[in-house]
Amino acid sequence: MTVPIRRHYVDSRWGQIHLHMAGQQGAGKRPLLCFHLSPGSGRMYLPFLAAMGDDRLAIAADTPGYGGSSRPPAPPAAVADYAAALGDILDALDLRDIDLMGAHTGSRLAVELAHQRPDRIHRLILFGAAVYTPEERARQKETYVAGRKGVTITDDYLGRQFKSWSSWRWPGVTDEMIWRYTTDSVLDPERSWWAHGAVFDHDMGARMKALPNEVMVVSVKDDIFEPTRRSKAFINRGTFFEREDWGHWFLEVKTDEFTPIARAFLDSA
C-alpha cells in the first residue's frame, strides 16, 4: 500500500527546511527521517516514503542549501554543522524516538546526528557509507570541491549533467528518474559543492565505529561501491546488505523489494 506525500516546512537555525512527508506520527512504528545525497533533494525518496508511510511517519528532508530548503549563511565547515541544523527538525516536529536513513552525503549526516542526539536516534540505514583513504579524500576534494568553485555555466551545462547521471543507468531506470537527479543537482551550481566541501574532511569509518546504534549499510553498484564495501569493517552493531545488480535509483526501481528489507531491520527486536 502507498500513501499520499505531503509537503511541510519547519524552521531551523539556517532558515526553513523543506520536508516531504508520508504517514502519520503515532501510527505504530518509530518515525523514519531520511537524508539525500548531494547535490540532490528529498525527492529521491518519494516512492520509498509512500510505501513506508503505511505504518509510520516517513520524512525526507532537503539538506540546507538544496531542494526547497534555505541556504546556510556561508559554506558550513563540517558535516556536523549540517547535521545540527537538520536536528532542528526533531525539535520542530517533537520527534522523540526515531530511525534515520541516509544516502551518500546523507549517510554521514545521519551518523553525525546519531552522535549529537543519542537519546532520540534508534536505528540507522546507510546507503553508500563511503570510507575513503586519505589519498582518495584529497583527490575527491579536488574533483568535487576545487573543480566546482566558480563554475562557468555554458549552453551545454544541463546536457552534460544529464549525460553524467545517465552513465549510471541500469535496467528499470527511466529518463524521468535521471532528469529528476539532474535538475536537483543544478538548482544552485555556485553552491552545489558546499556539502562536498564538508564531506571530504569527514572520517566515516571512525564515526561509524563509535556508534552504539544498530546500523544497516546498503551497498549497490554506484560511484562509491568500493569505498562503501570498506565500511563493513566499521559496523559496530548491525548488518551489511549488498546488491551488485542494483545501483542509483534502487529506491524507485526496487521499492517493492527493498521496503520489506528496510522494515525488517528497523522493526526487529
What does the domain layout of the chain look like in residue ranges? 6-267
In CATH, what class is 6-267?
alpha beta
Tens of pLDDT, residues 26-85: 878 999 999 999 999 999 999 999 999 999 999 999 999 999 999 998 887 799 999 999
pLDDT of 76 reads 77
Which triple of cell numbers denotes residue 57?
511517519
pTM of the shown model: 0.96
> In this predicted structure, what is the pLDDT of residue 20?
98
Rounded to whole angstroms, the Cα distance separating 4 from 2 reads 7
Q: 74: Cβ–Cβ under 8 A, 6 or more apart, which residues?
A: none
pLDDT number for residue 197: 83
Q: Would you give the DSSP letter of residue 63? A: P
Sites in the chain below the pLDDT cut of 50? none
Task: Calculate the CA 216 to chain-centre distance.
Answer: 14
- Residue 251, C-beta contacts closer than 8 angstroms, at least 6 positions apart: 44, 45, 47, 48, 103, 127, 258
Cis check: omega of the bond before 227, within 30 degrees of 0:
no
pLDDT of residue 147: 54
DSSP secondary structure code for residue 142 in this structure? I
Residue-level pLDDT at 149:
59
Give Cα 196 distance to the centre of its chain.
13
